[in-house]
A and B are shown apart, each in its own frame.
Chain A
Amino acid sequence: MNEHDARAAVHAAIGAVAPDVDLDAVNEDARLRQDLELDSLDFLRLVETIDTATGVDIPERDYPAVATVKGLIGYLAAHG
């Protein structure tokens, strides 16, 4: 998956889990937990939504790599 598609998938997934987040205004260095205030259940839903939409299942051991918006996009681009 190229970065453009990965970004679109991440934006769609965050939009579904946290519709109040205005992604256009979010810096991609934003941390999902601390800055976007996703709790562990939100995060699980995010991972699940991405899995459903892209087929990329992020295992738990890789969670630290996807802690930011940018990290998540990069992960999808590399694994999708």
Chain B
Amino acid sequence: MQWDVVIGLEIHVQLATQTKIFSGSSTTYGAEPNIQASAVDLAMPGTLPVANEQAFRYAVMFGLAVDAEICRRSVFERKNYFYPDLPKGYQTTQLAKPIVGPGHVDIELKDGTTKRVRIHHAHLEEDAGKSLHEDYHGMTGIDLNRAGTPLIEVVTEPDMRSSEEAVAFARKLHGLVTSLGICDGDMSQGSLRFDVNVSIRPKGQEELGTRTETKNLNSFRFMEQAIHQEVERQIDVLTEGGRIIQETRLYNGDTNTSRSMRTKEEANDYRYFPCPDLLPVVIDDEFIEQARRSLPELPDARKARFQSEYGLTEYDAGLLANSAQMAALFEETVRYGKDPKLAANWLLGELSARLNSEDRSLADCPVSAAQFGTLILRISDGTVSSTGAKKVFEGLWEGEGGDVDALIEAKGLKQVSDTGALEQIVDEVLADMDEQIAQYREADEKKRKKLMGGFMGPLMKASRGQGNPKMFNELLKKKLDS
């Protein structure tokens, strides 16, 4: 049977505020356990929450960026459940009146088409603490530094139909919140966490199948793998005549396996009710207009500008413009290196591949825009070949030196582009290749092209890899065809 896959996402976005949503505790990541957990965060009796203005401003900025209605009168609810990393016994969140109403994000797919993913809503809430299950003599250790960190939870409609679409949306959202500056986007620190709702249905069926929710995926790769894995599992269950149970699942990226966490039908009854400790928050026109004025250039606008200003293809422009950091690196590189197309190729090719293979983020890229720019200048003016440039990049990456020209010199990568010197090499090499020359002259046009390679090898060898291949090619043609 053919199956349709239906995916909806819930994304927890940690807001880049200095302090928590309901207390003046710092939100700095990586602090010693519990030194950023105040009486409010610990739910000490008698404490009361006071809401952080910046969290609301960030939520409103997000709402404006996804073209959503902003709720003028925002109400907080209590979501009740017991877990030790939630000291109050409830999470303060929003249910009936979330701050951000329905909106949408357009994603670009590999086949060049654009698809609209609807945002159901986004609400403000507080993060929980962290539980450490490692060896504390059979006990669990609790760190409440994260408790009370402001989040927006973005909930999409079930509009995605493949893992490719889900990942494209996730990347787009990542680019959006980092460009807005409302989230640092560091997924390894949990700044952005994805819950994936997956269901399948026989192709052509209108009615949705039963969904499962896989929680807390913190990388795009894990997200993609977890979706594949869950789709396969559901197909197996249904094919063998079983039925899908609505449940929460945990995915383990190290082993590429998932397991059931708990069934939703039974235990979870959150008994939401309006939080009596918090008054409604009124957002007025002036607050919204202020937020609108503070919106920076967003990825879609930046993409259009990259196409018109630098003459990039739509695809390259989209990739570079999505992340604020990548876009900034690109523009600075072009300032130094001039050629935008070449700069785009290097950043999206060599650099991106390297970052991916080492699972590093752009934030700790050891090569600067000035270095990329100089390297691109040297490729453009023929000082190094593109193969040589890769070796220079390698040197910069491994910290062998910071000066591009010095590295080219030290590694002996300087291309010989002096016609006289090159011609001499060509003459010397051809002197020993009578047989091949005869063969070449007898061959037709098509075959000649192939035979050229047989001359290039010895030429590059004779010039110790430093001859300008383009000039060698021209000289060869002149000599052989004459």
Partners in one complex: no
